[in-house]
Chain A
Amino acid sequence: MKRLMLGNEAIARGAYEAGVRVSSAYPGTPSTEINETIATYSEIYSEWAPNEKVAVEVALGAAIGGARSMACMKHVGLNVAADPFFTATYTGVNAGMVVVVADDPGMHSSQNEQDTRLLARAAHAPVLDPSDSAECKAFMQLAFELSEWYDTPVIVRLTTRIAHARTPVELGERQELPLLAYKKEPKKYVSMPANMIARHRYVEERERRLAEDANALPVNRIEWAQRKLGVITSGAAYNYVKEALPHASVLKLGLAYPLPERLIREFAAGVEELVIVEDMEPFFEDAVRAMGIPCHGKAETGVQGELFAHKVAGRFAGGKAYGPMTTPDIPMRPPVLCPGCPHRALFHVLNKLKLHVFSDIGCYTLGALPPLGAVDTCVCMGASIGVAHGIEKARGVEMAKQSVAVLGDSTFCHSGMTGLLNMMYNRSVGTVIVADNSITGMTGHQNNPMNGRGIHGEIAPALDLPKLCEAMGIEHVRIVDPFDVKALEQVLREETERDALSVIISRRPCALIVKEKRAPYACDAEKCRACGMCMRIGCPAIRKTETGVWIDHTQCVGCGLCGNVCPFGALGTEGA
C-alpha cells in the first residue's frame, strides 16, 4: 500500500533504499525532517553537524571512504558549505555522495530567496529537481547512480512545496551495498594545483558527457499534447503547469543541470510558442535563450515569490490571475515568541536599556518585532558577532559600550566561535550574549553540541562554553537566568560598561522542551493597577481589559515572567 510521506521523509526513504551508510546535516527549514527521518533508520549512521560545511566534509570523507553518503541543508546552508563543495566536484567520489538542498521561494522561513541551481552550475554539479514525494524517493536512487557513474557529488534540490507536502509513495526494500575499498589516490583527492589542473579537465569532460547523456535520461521527458503551446518546467512548477495548462505540451526536466540541448531543440521545434515556467531565477530561460531559441517566461512570472497554478493560468492561458491573498482591513498575525520563551525576558531588558542589538538567525530574530522591537540587525548564521565588532571598529569604543551581539547556543556552535576569537584577538571591548536555551529551537528542536544530547536523544559530550571562553583568553564570562530580570539588567550594565570583551550566557531552557507543567497565571483584580508593565513583555497570553488584564489559560504556560515584572504582585497562579 502507498503511504503519504513528506517530500523530506521520501528523500530519507530514498537514501535508505539506496543503501546510504552516513548522513550529516545541520537543521534548516524546509530541510530539517530529512535527517530526522534518517535518524529513525538504524542501518544509517546519522548526526547533527555544527554547520553545513562540516556536514559536506563528513559526507565527502565517507564517500571517499567507500560508503554512500549524504549531507542535507537549506539553501543558505550551501553557502556555508560552498568551500568544500566547490572542490568536491573536482575530487569526485568513490562511493556515491548526494547533497540535498531545500530552497524556499516566497521566503516562508528564510532570509533570502536564492536559487540553488545557480550555485550548482558554478560548482559544475548535476542537479535533480523532483516534483513530488514519489520522485523524491526515486531521484535519490538516481542521484547516487549518477554520482558514481560520473564521479561527482550530486545535488537533489527541493523547494518548500515539495519538501513540506505529503504525497503518496510506494515503499521498496533497502539495497545493501558493500563498503567499497578505500584507495589512497592523491592525484584525485589532494587539491594541489598540479592535481586539480588535471581534475578540472575531467570536470569539463564529465559535464559535456552528462549533458549529452541527459538527452536520453528518462527523468527528462516530453509529454506531447497540443502543439500550440509548449512549456519547459521542473519541480513544483511542473505541478502548476499540469493544472493550469492541461492542453499544453510539456518538457519536464528532472535533471535541472546540465541541460539536454538536443531534447530542448526537438521540443522547441515541435511547438508554436515556447514558454519557460520555473520558480525563482530564469535558469532554464537564460540557457534556452543562449541556445538561440526564442522563448519567454520570467517577463510574465517574475523572479520573486512562489508560482501558483492561477498565476500560470493567468499569464499563459488567459485565466483569472488573482492578486496576493490579503484581506487589507484585518490585523496581521505575525510570528511571535512562544508563551514562556526565555528570549522574551532577554529582549525586554535589552529594550529597556536601549542597547543596540546585533542579532542572529534563530527564534530570537523575533525580538525585532513589536512590542520588543529590540533588534538592529540580523544577517546570517553567526553574523551578530562580526557585525558588532565591525561597528565597534568603525565608530569606536563608546559604540561598543552601547551594543551587544546576541546569538543562540546552536548558532554559536554553527559559526559564532571564529567571530568571537576575532573579537578577542583584535582587542574588542564588546559584549556577546549567548542566548542558551539548550536546543536548536526554530527548526523544531534538534539537539546540538552544547546541550549534551545526540541526534537520537542519547547523552553526548557537551561543549563547555565558559571553559571555551577561558581558553580563548576571555576573562569576563557571566551566566544569568534571563527570568531574573533584575540580575540580568545588572549584569548587562556591568559588562557593557567594562573596557574588555565579555560573554554573557543567558541560560534557560526553551519553554517547549520543559516537561514539567505549571499552572497558568491569572490576574488578581484587587491588586492590579492597570499600569501596563506586563503588556510591555509582549506575551501572547496576556490581553488588556477595561479594568486591567486577562490571561488566556489555553496559552499561558505559567512561566511567571509577567509576575516578575508586575510592580504590584497582581499576577500569580490561582490560589497562590
Chain B
Amino acid sequence: MTTNIVIVGVGGQGTLLASRILGHIAMENGYDARVSEVHGMSQRGGSVTTYVRMSAAERLYSTIVEQEQADFVLAFETLEALRALPYLKKDGLMIVNTQQILPMPVITGAAEYPEDALARVRAAADTVALDAVGIAEQCGTFRAANVVLLGVLAKRMQFPAEQWREAIRALVKPQFAQWNLDAFEEGYRRG
C-alpha cells in the first residue's frame, strides 16, 4: 500500500527537513520512495509544497501527489491548510499548525485573511490542529515547529517512535538535536 503525504507551508518554515526525515525513514525500512521539492521564486515567504510518497511493496513512478490522493496533509500554516484541502483523500488526515502568516496581498490590504480558515478545514476534513510554534518555543526554539507536526504524523503512521528519533538525530545539526527531539515528543503525545 502506498502512503501519500503533502507538506505545505511558507518558505523558511522548515518543510524540507520534514520531507527529508520522512524519506530517511522510508529508506531505513526498505520502502520505495519519492520525495519531491519544488524551489520557487523566493527563498522566504512564498507558498511551498513538498510531496512524499512511500510504498513497502508497489513500485512507485510519479514524484507528485495529486488531488484526492493524500493520506496526510501536514500544513505548517492555516491558510495553506485551507489551500491544500483538495489534496486530501476522503478519509485523509489534516495536521495543521494554527499559526497565521499573512501573505502580501493581505498585508497590502488587497485581500483579507479568511478568519474562518481553521473552521473551514475542520468542517471539510478529519483535523488535528495545534499551536506548533508555541509548543516548539516551550522546547527551546520556535524553529522546531516542523518537528512538532512531524510528531503528530508519527503517531498516526506505522513506524516505531524510535526510528523517528533516529532520523531526527541523523538529519538535524547536533547542537539543535535535543530541542527537536523534545519537540517531537510533544507532537507525538498530542497525535
B85 contacts A109, C-beta separation under 8 Å: no
B27 touches A1 (CB 8 A): yes
Among B108-116, B152-160, B177-185, the stretch in contact with A: B108-116
Binding-face segment, A52-60, A332-340, A419-427, A471-479 = A332-340
| Chain A residues whose C-beta falls within 8 Å of the C-beta of B68 in the assembled complex | 322
The distance from the CB of A463 to the nearest CB of chain B, in whole angstroms, is: 24
Q: Are B43's CB and A108's CB within 8 A?
A: no
Q: When the two chains form their complex, are residues A330 and B83 in contact, meaning their CB atoms are under 8 A apart?
A: yes
Please judge, given known A-B contacts A109-B41, A330-B82, A330-B83, whether A168 and B32 are in contact too, CB under 8 Å: yes
Given contacts A168-B33, A308-B66, A322-B66, contact A535 B107 (CB under 8 A): yes
The secondary structure that dominates the A interface is loop
Interface flags for B90-132 (1: CB within 8 Å of A; 0: not) read 0000000001011111111111111001000000000000000
Chain B contact residue count (CB 8 A cutoff): 55
Residue A462 is within 8 A (CB to CB) of chain B in the complex: no
Task: Report A-chain residues with C-beta under 8 Å of the C-beta of B140.
Answer: none
Residues A239 and B46 in contact in the complex (CB < 8 Å), given A333-B80, A336-B104, A538-B108: no
CB-CB contacts below 8 Å: A12-40 with B? 29-30
**Contact, CB under 8 Å: A334 / B39:** no
Contact of A166 among B23, B46, B101, B107 (CB under 8 A): B23
A563 near B: Cβ within 8 Å? no
The smallest C-beta distance from A117 to any residue of chain B, in angstroms, reads 20
A335/B80 contact (C-beta < 8 A), A161-B63, A164-B36 known: no
List the A side residues contacting B86 at CB < 8 Å: 322, 325, 327
Contact B83 A327 (CB under 8 A): yes
* Cβ 8 A contact of B62, one of A240, A332, A369: A240
On chain B, the residues within 8 Å of A335 by CB distance are 11, 40-42, 45-46
User: Do B108 and A370 have beta carbons less than 8 Å apart?
Assistant: yes
Categorize the interface residue count of chain A.
35 or more
- A554, B142: Cβ atoms under 8 Å? yes
Chain A positions within 8 Å of B87 at CB level:
325
Complex alpha-carbon distance, A6 and B110, angstroms: 38
| Mask: chain A, 145-182; 1 = CB below 8 Å from B; 0 = not | 00000000000000011101111100000000000000
Contact (A333, B36) CB under 8 Å given A168-B27, A366-B41: no
| Closest chain A CB from B159 CB (angstroms) | 16
Chain B residues whose C-beta falls within 8 Å of the C-beta of A338 in the assembled complex: 12, 42-45
The reply to whether B35 and A166 contact each other, CB–CB distance below 8 Å, is yes
Q: Does B133 contact A (CB under 8 A)?
A: yes
B107 touches A330 (CB 8 A): no
Q: Does any Cβ of B come within 8 Å of A540's Cβ?
A: yes
Given contacts A242-B62, A543-B107, 16 further A-B contacts (CB under 8 A): A108-B39, A165-B35, A239-B62, A239-B63, A243-B62, A310-B67, A322-B66, A325-B67, A331-B105, A331-B110, A332-B103, A338-B42, A371-B108, A441-B43, A512-B43, A538-B104
Using CB atoms and an 8 Å cutoff, list the residues of chain A in contact with chain B.
1-4, 6, 29-30, 108-109, 131-132, 160-162, 164-168, 236, 238-240, 242-243, 308-310, 322, 325, 327, 329-339, 363, 365-366, 369-371, 441-442, 444, 512, 535, 538, 540, 542-544, 552, 554-555
